[in-house]
């Protein structure tokens, strides 16, 4: 049976990846910084390298979903450590989740993801990189924060194409079960909306009445988002449901 190590396997995306692997008859191994309670959990820390050798040993494939607010220590240095151990132990496939449009956006986190991609491509470990647009959960956290004051500030001209996390997880599982392809086809949600529209949808589902205050975001990052650098290109594939449908499912649940 194929054994797949999943970093970030207890997170928003990772837990769906782990479930998808099990459903596909693939043995998951979940890397966690805390002492694992489940039989398939292994303790390790990307930020320090502790436990990585034991976690990777015997794994056929790695799906790297982990990220952290300390992203330089985890997303860059941690990825570099993980690749070194994967190369040493002969891992045959390294699958990485990245973000659409990071080539053309100077946002610091996006530059970090791009650097991680470069490390993977240069590592010598066979790899697949999947880029996706923003998850519904991220957009929810953004608009929920914007909607807190009665006068809700919203960046002018910003758009998003949010995607179901489950759809991203399913694609990662499919890719992990196959041969390394290098750069996989980008994926995104089915619809492009302005951030203002997404905020109004959220407020409607929460029966909130908010006046919107459009604000300009200066600099190169603001220009990149206004230009739609975070949106799926013409060669990408749309998957899953809309943000409205995501909110409706959460409300029903």
Please spell the DSSP secondary structure of 135-203, one letter per residue: BHHHHHHHHHHHTSSSEEEEETT-EE--B-HHHHHHHHHHHHTS---EEPPPEE-S--EEHHHHHHHHH
- Parts of the chain with a pLDDT under 70: 36-37, 69
Q: How far apart are CA 232 and CA 238, in angstroms?
A: 8
Q: Check: CATH 3.40.50.720 for 3-252?
A: yes
User: How high is the pLDDT of residue 33?
Assistant: 85
Distances (CA, A) of 241 to 65, 134, 162, 192, 249: 22, 13, 9, 12, 10
Percent residues over pLDDT 90 in the chain: 89
Average pLDDT, the chain: 94
Q: Which pTM value belongs to this model?
A: 0.96
Strands 237-238 and 187-188: parallel
Domain spans in the chain, listed from the N-terminal domain onward: 3-252
Instruction: State pLDDT tens for residues 201-251.
Output: 999 998 888 999 999 999 999 999 999 999 999 999 999 999 999 999 988
Burial class (CB in 10 A: 0-12, 13-18, 19+), 175: buried
Please spell the DSSP secondary structure of 45-68, one letter per residue: -TTT-TTHHHHHTT-SEEEE----
β partners of residue 183: 129
User: How high is the pLDDT of residue 36?
Assistant: 61
Q: How far apart are CA 187 and CA 232, in angstroms?
A: 7
User: How high is the pLDDT of residue 190?
Assistant: 98
């Amino acid at each position: 049976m194929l054994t797949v190590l999943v970093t970030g396997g207890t997170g928003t995306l990772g837990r769906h990846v782990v479930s998808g692997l099990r459903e596909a008859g693939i043995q998951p191994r979940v890397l966690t910084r805390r002492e694992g309670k489940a039989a398939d959990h292994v303790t390790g820390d990307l930020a320090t390298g502790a436990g990585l050798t034991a976690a990777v040993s015997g794994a056929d494939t790695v799906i790297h979903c982990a990220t952290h607010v300390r992203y330089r220590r985890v997303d860059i240095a941690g990825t570099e450590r993980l690749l070194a151990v994967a190369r040493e132990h002969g891992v045959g496939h390294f699958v990485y989740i990245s973000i659409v449009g990071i080539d053309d956006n100077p946002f610091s986190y996006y530059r970090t993801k791009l650097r991680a991609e470069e490390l993977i491509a240069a590592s010598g470990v066979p790899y697949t990189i999947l880029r996706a647009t923003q998850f519904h959960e991220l957009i929810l956290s953004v608009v929920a924060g914007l909607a807190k004051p009665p006068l809700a500030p919203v960046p002018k001209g910003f758009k998003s194409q949010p995607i179901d996390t489950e759809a991203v997880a399913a694609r990662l599982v499919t890719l992990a079960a196959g041969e390394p392809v290098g750069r996989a086809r980008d994926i995104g949600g089915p619809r492009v909306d302005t951030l203002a529209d997404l905020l109004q949808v959220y407020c409607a589902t929460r029966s909130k009445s908010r006046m919107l205050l459009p604000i300009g975001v200066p600099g190169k990052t603001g220009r990149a988002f206004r230009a739609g650098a975070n949106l799926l290109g013409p060669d990408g594939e749309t998957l899953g449901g809309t943000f409205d449908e995501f909110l409706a499912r959460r409300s029903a649940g």
